Amino acid sequence: YSINLDPIYLQDMDNIIIGSIINIKDITEKVKLENMRTDFVANVSHELKTPLTSISGFVETLKLNENIDIETRNRFLGIIESESDRLKRLIDDILLLSFIEKKETKSIELVNIYEVFMEVYEMTNYFAKSKNINVSYKFSDQNISILSNRDYVKQIFLNLIDNAIKYTPENKDVYVEVYYDKNNLVIKVGDNGIGIPKEDIKRIFERFYRVDKARSREVGGTGLGLAITKHIVKNLDGTINVKSELGQGSEFIITIPKKNFLK
C-alpha cells in the first residue's frame, strides 16, 4: 500500500491542525508490473549475453590461433553460426512479443483458419519428417474464417505445432483438431511426447520459462513461444489451457469466442 497523510489546517493558521486526509492506495498491481518489467530486462540481457559471449569467445580463439586445423576451424565457425541464429530468433521473438503487448494490431483481415494451418503444416513438415513424426489434422469445417491478423493466427499454429514436434520423441504422433463448440472456435494441438511436470504447467506461459533449459536450447527454443501465443489469444478475447501427463504427452486447447469470427 502507499499511504499519504495530509494535514488540514485551520484557515489562515499554520499551526492549528483540525484534521487529516489519509489516502490509502493499493499499489500491488503497479509494483507487480514494475517488478515484471525489471525481471524481463534482466532476463533479456542474460539471454542475449549467453550466445554473444560464445560468439566472441570463438572469434577470439580463431584470431589468436592462425594454425588451427581446418576441421576445428569449421566446427568453431559452425558454433558461431548457430549462436548468431539463436540471437536472431531471440531478438525476433522479443520484438514480436513487445509489439503484441502494445496491442498495436497489424492490419485486420478475414483469415481462413484452414489455409493458415496448411501453410504452417508445410513449413513444419520437413522437421516432423526428420523425426518420423506423423502430424494428423481434422477440421470440422475448412471454411472457418476469423477477423484477425494473418501473421498472428499463423504464430499460434506455428508455436504450438513446432513445440509439439520439438518435445516429442521420434516415431510418435502430433495432432491438430479445429471445430466449433456452442460459443467458441476450438483449436487443439496435441502430442504423445515428453509431457510437462504438474508443477511446471502453470508457469510455461511465462516469458523465458522452460521446463528443461538445456533441452529447449538444444532444439532451438527461446522460451518465448508460449508467452507470444498466450498474448495473441488474449487479444482475441480467447483462452489457452494445457492438459499434460509426464511421459504421456500434452494437449494445448485454445478457445476463441464466436463473435470474433465469421463464416
* Residues in contact with ligand ADP by the rule CB under 6 A: 159, 163-164, 167, 191, 193-196, 204, 210-212, 216, 221-227, 250
CA 187, CA 214: separation in Å to the nearest integer?
A: 29
Phi, psi of 247 (to 5 degrees): 80, -5
What is the DSSP track for 94-145? HHHHHHHHTT-----EEEEHHHHHHHHHHHHHHHHHHTT-EEEEEES-TT-E
Q: How far is the CB of 86 from ligand ADP (least distance, A)?
A: 11
Whose Cβ is closer to ligand ADP: residue 76's or residue 137's? Answer: 137
Q: How far is the CB of 161 from ligand ADP (least distance, A)?
A: 9
Cβ neighbourhood burial of 222 (10 Å; 0-12, 13-18, 19+):
buried
Which three cell numbers, joined as nine digits, stand for 209? 520459462
Whose Cβ is closer to ligand ADP: residue 93's or residue 111's? Answer: 93
Q: With H, G, I as helix, E, B as strand and everything else as coil, classify residue 254.
A: strand
Whose Cβ is closer to ligand ADP: residue 150's or residue 231's? Answer: 231
Phi, psi of 136 (to 5 degrees): -100, 155
Q: How far is the CB of 159 from ligand ADP (least distance, A)?
A: 6
Instruction: Classify strands 145-148 and 261-262 as parallel, antiparallel or unpaired.
Output: antiparallel
Whose Cβ is closer to ligand ADP: residue 61's or residue 132's? Answer: 132
Q: How far is the CB of 48 from ligand ADP (least distance, A)?
A: 15
Whose Cβ is closer to ligand ADP: residue 113's or residue 226's? Answer: 226
Whose Cβ is closer to ligand ADP: residue 44's or residue 211's? Answer: 211
Query: Which are the contacts of 154, defined by CB distance < 8 A and separation ≥ 6?
Result: 116, 119, 120
Q: How far is the CB of 164 from ligand ADP (least distance, A)?
A: 5
Phi, psi of 164 (to 5 degrees): -55, -40
Q: How far is the CB of 156 from ligand ADP (least distance, A)?
A: 12
